[in-house]
Amino acid sequence: MWRTIRITVLLLILVVVAGQAWLDKHTTTSWQRTVFVGAFPVSADGSAVSRAYIEQLDQGQLDGVTRFISAEAHRYGIALEEPLELRLYPALSEAPPVLAPQAGIAARILWSLKLRYYRWHMLSRISRARPQIALFLLYHDPALASALPHSAGLQRGLTGVVHLFASRAQEAQNRIVIAHELLHTFGATDKYDPDTGLPQFPEGYADPEQSPRYPQEQAELMAGRLPVSADKAVMPEGLGEVRIGPLSAREIGWIKP
Ligand SMILES: [Zn+2]
């Protein structure tokens, strides 16, 4: 009984929040004006390594993401010179709420509400221009975490929680992960097989028409990896080897239905 009431109340709150999110999505995917995205670095592990990394982080290390999105948007005929701008904001001292991997439906709803509250709370402290989309960049010391937790975003909540390695050597990869999670906040879906990690054909291929099909020269951003044969895919070196495919472009409003 109590459980049913709790879930019903959470669902009602979510309906209201979803209505707002629909409006937000409409304004961010019309591509008539530059969308401002805030990048908020935060240490995921409290280590000295991630703290030192965040201290040296500057805007130039993120600009590649903005350039990549602009170039891809222009390829799809978006006229706006800078469709999106990713801006680095000062580091936060408090990390966003985490979603447990085995979380059930009620726990997921609760997490999404907590994350919305966290976003509101963090953004309310900003006096200068507030971004429309917030990406929380959680940096991990590579020596403490061999694999990173799955990044998560609210596909319609204009918020992304992005896990990254606090390492200069990982920066090109980090920019790919940031661009991938950023596209989720605009409504793009993953295009890889969750069991094998391999890109799905044809939507997860940058050039599905290429002949011979393998090796592909570029990776599709939402598939993440670059198919070199029917059963092998590798991480691209950087955004120079990545493209946004037609299905992802459609999902984020670059191709009108
Ligand atoms: Zn994804």
**Ligand 1 centroid – CA 151 distance (Å):** 7
- Mean pLDDT over 4-11 rounds to 87
Strands 133-140 and 35-43: parallel
**Ligand 1 centroid – CA 152 distance (Å):** 8
Look up tokens 């606090």; give the residue: 166
98, 78, 115, 223: which is closest to 151 by C-alpha? 98
More confident call, 39 vs 30: 39
- In the chain, the amino acid numbered 227 is P
pLDDT(36) > 70: yes
**Ligand 1 centroid – CA 55 distance (Å):** 27
**Ligand 1 centroid – CA 4 distance (Å):** 31
Q: In which region does residue 3 sit, left (phi positive, over 0), alpha (psi from -120 to 50) or beta (all else)?
A: alpha
**Ligand 1 centroid – CA 5 distance (Å):** 32
**Ligand 1 centroid – CA 244 distance (Å):** 13
**Ligand 1 centroid – CA 120 distance (Å):** 23
Strands 84-88 and 35-43: parallel
Rounded-to-integer distance, Cα 62 and Cα 71, Å? 15
The pLDDT > 90 percentage for the chain reads: 69
**Ligand 1 centroid – CA 183 distance (Å):** 9
- Mean pLDDT over 52-69 rounds to 97
DSSP three-state, residue 41? strand
* Listed range (24-28, 67-71, 72-76) with the worst mean pLDDT: 24-28
Q: What is the pLDDT of residues 103-124, one digit of tens each?
A: 888 898 889 889 989 998 999 8
Under a CB-based contact definition with an 8 Å cutoff, are residues 178 and 67 in contact?
A: no
Name the pLDDT band for 9 (thresholds 50, 70, 90).
confident
209, 84, 227: which is closest to 158 by C-alpha? 84
Rounded-to-integer distance, Cα 68 and Cα 66, Å? 5
**Ligand 1 centroid – CA 170 distance (Å):** 18
**Ligand 1 centroid – CA 190 distance (Å):** 5
H helix intervals, 46-158? 48-56, 63-75, 105-123
Rounded-to-integer distance, Cα 149 and Cα 140, Å? 10
Rounded-to-integer distance, Cα 42 and Cα 137, Å? 6
Query: Whole-prediction pTM value?
Result: 0.89
Q: In which region does residue 138 sit, left (phi positive, over 0), alpha (psi from -120 to 50) or beta (all else)?
A: beta
Q: What is the pLDDT of residues 46-58, one digit of tens each?
A: 999 999 999 999 9
**Which of 8-17, 31-40, 156-165 has the largest mean confidence?**
31-40
Rounded-to-integer distance, Cα 204 and Cα 224, Å? 8
